[in-house]
Amino acid sequence: MSDQILSLKLLGYWTDEQLGEIPDISGIFCVYAGTAADDGEPGIERLLYIGESGDVRQRIRHHELREEWASRLEAGEVLCYSVAAATYVYRERLEAALVHVHKPPVNRDYIDRFPFDTTEMHLRGRTDKLMSQFIVERHD
């Protein structure tokens, strides 16, 4: 793939109690440690994981790392999620760029490598704990 400029609009935030409200879309998802709030809007504390799926709601609900996400929570924290629509063609590249730059503690792949050509990212929407604009160079 050649150099790309990609953009994502992140939607959210949802907690485990609100999983059914997460859109069943193809895309990227972010998992956070957050604090519950009376107004239903969680406070976002830390980024834990970034993933991709053809159905982000089902992937979040049944992810094999859910226990590890939960084990990273501190007293009073809950898991929170944001999602962004992305087509199959770009999902892996988007995930790799986000993971490579932000280095979430539960991710393993793409922390030290970025196997794609130069990618410029523009994020908008619910981007707490994420850089809104960055460029990632190939790093195999």
Cross-strand partners of 52:
28
What's the domain range around 130? 4-136
Q: Beta strand 27-35 with 133-136: parallel, antiparallel or unpaired?
A: unpaired
C-alpha distances in Å from residue 68, one per residue of 25, 33, 41: 24, 12, 23
Into how many domains does the chain fold?
Answer: 1
Backbone torsions φ then ψ of 9, nearest 5 degrees: -110, 110
Per-residue pLDDT of the chain (140 residues; tens, 9 = 90+): 468 999 999 998 999 999 999 999 999 999 999 998 777 778 999 999 999 999 999 999 999 999 999 999 999 999 999 999 999 999 999 999 999 999 999 999 999 999 999 999 999 999 999 999 999 999 88
Dihedrals phi, psi of 72, to nearest 5 degrees: -90, -5
Q: Which residue has the tokens 């107004």?
A: 39
